[in-house]
Amino acid sequence: MKPLIAIIGRPNVGKSTLFNRVVGRRAAIVEDVAGVTRDRHYADAEWTGRSFALVDTGGFEPEAEDEVRAGITRQARLAVEAADAILLVVDAMDGITPGDTEVVRLLRRSGARVLVVANKVDSLSREHETSLLADIHGLGLPTFPVSAEHGRGVGDLLDAALENLDAPSFADLPEEEEACRVAIVGRPNVGKSTLVNCLLGEERMLATELPGTTRDSVDAHLRYQGDTFILTDTAGIRRKKSVARSVERYSVLRAIRTIDSADIVVLMLDAEEPGVSQDERLAHLVLDRGRALILAVNKWDKIAKEGDAGEKLRQTVRERLPEAAHAPVLLVSALEGRRVFSILEKASKLKEVWSRRLPTPEVNDWLAETVSRTPPPIHKGRPVRLLYAAQIGSCPPHLSVTTSNPSGITHTYRRYLEKRMREDFGLAGVPIRFTFKARRRSR
């Protein structure tokens, strides 16, 4: 278990910039706009051979009244309660504001060790301008002038933050344990964050009725029935022409990158509006990137359930998302917690399928039988023969097929082979790749 250090502060003082500097990559969105960071954002970090966990939080505003800002502050409070040490970031150029004073008052009650980070001290000459730092030192807490943007002073800060941190509080995953990475994607306001909160049993993600609440991609660790999962909640992905502000564009790119790093992608649909055009685009995006796919139809509690309503809804989803018709369709209610753990059960099984290695003899027996049922179409007056096949990759399954004429394999016949292989080898929900190559001519 690793100690947890939380980064706290009012909006737009450079918390996410410091977070990115410490973890060594752009793990959190940084914009010169208050309120970009909303959820708690965890990452592992290392300094002078010591490992620890770091959490970035949204702007801490104790007096916030509107729903989103109050929710951000509530998330920050949760991070404070779990932390072993707290880095309170203030803007050295602004000095101490009433908001900073209120945050300090609340942090003193936490019992955790608090270090003040006087950010935006970009040079030694600026640090020597004592008037800028006098109020900050007056807080009576250890104070460290830094420039998160340029890295100045960050090393001394980390030395102090890690000093005497022996009591672990963050249940980090063992490095040797292989986890199933599950990305939760979907249109805005379909219940992605509510689903993650339900699975975790805590309000880890900020969830409201307002669309677009989640802007970043956030990881959460979970164990269920002996398996380990890393759940990633992502920003709701809109059509490109609807993404106007740069922070939303970056959120969409982050969500796409999250898909690329996942094993399983759960595409959440709205039971009252399932399989719309944007759902179809997202399903194509997931399969095109080679990820295994689960279709989770949320808000099932709002649909009348007489007779075979569930099967009719599943059929509707398959008809509207023909490219993903093979993917498992699960009906859930994240708000009520109904059937949500079936997602993890299915994800665990699907990962085994996605990473499966198929024996070459079985593949060639299958190929011979499949071709005998439906041979490839004649190409330029000549038959096209499929000679043998072997799996050359997994995650997803990738097969190389030697043929007498690769250019004679039509798109329709390729789809036929994918469908037959998916059905015969139990690969529902998994994309399949085929590479067709010509037979070598003997000299």
Cα(399)–Cα(394) distance, integer angstroms: 9
Residue, of 73 and 244, whose pLDDT is higher? 73
- CATH code for the part of the protein at 360-438: 3.30.300.20
CATH for 180-353 is: 3.40.50.300
Q: Which CATH class is domain 4-162?
A: alpha beta
User: pLDDT per residue over 29-56, tens digit each?
Assistant: 444 434 444 444 677 788 888 888 888 8
Q: 28 pLDDT exceeds 80?
A: no
**CATH topology agreement for domains 4-162 and 180-353:** yes
Residues 352-391 have pLDDT tens digits of 999 999 999 999 999 999 999 999 999 888 999 999 999 9
Average pLDDT score over residue span 97-107: 77
Asked if omega into 406 is within 30° of 0 (cis), the reply is no
Out of 22-26, 139-143, 146-150, the most confident range is 146-150
Q: What is the mean pLDDT of residues 271-300?
A: 90
392-423 in b/e form (b: 16+ CB < 10 A) is eeeebbebebbbebeebbeeebeeebbebbbe
- Global pTM reads 0.61
Reported confidence tier of residue 200, pLDDT bands at 50, 70, 90: confident
The pLDDT of residue 207 is: 43
168 pLDDT higher than 60: no
Helices 98-108 and 67-82: angle between axes, nearest 10 degrees: 40
Q: Where are the domains of the chain?
A: 4-162, 180-353, 360-438
- Higher pLDDT among residues 261 and 229, named by residue: 229
pLDDT at 76: 63
Looking at residue 24, its pLDDT comes to 78
| DSSP secondary structure, 339-408, as one string | STHHHHHHHHHHHHHHT----HHHHHHHHHHHHHHSPPPPBTTB---EEEEEEEETTTTEEEEEES-GGG
pLDDT at 25: 59
Nearest to 352 by CA among 415, 429, 283: 429
Confidence of residue 309 (pLDDT cuts 50, 70, 90): confident
Q: Which of 4-13, 77-86, 333-342, 410-419 has the lowest mean pLDDT?
A: 77-86
Percent of the chain with pLDDT strictly greater than 70: 75
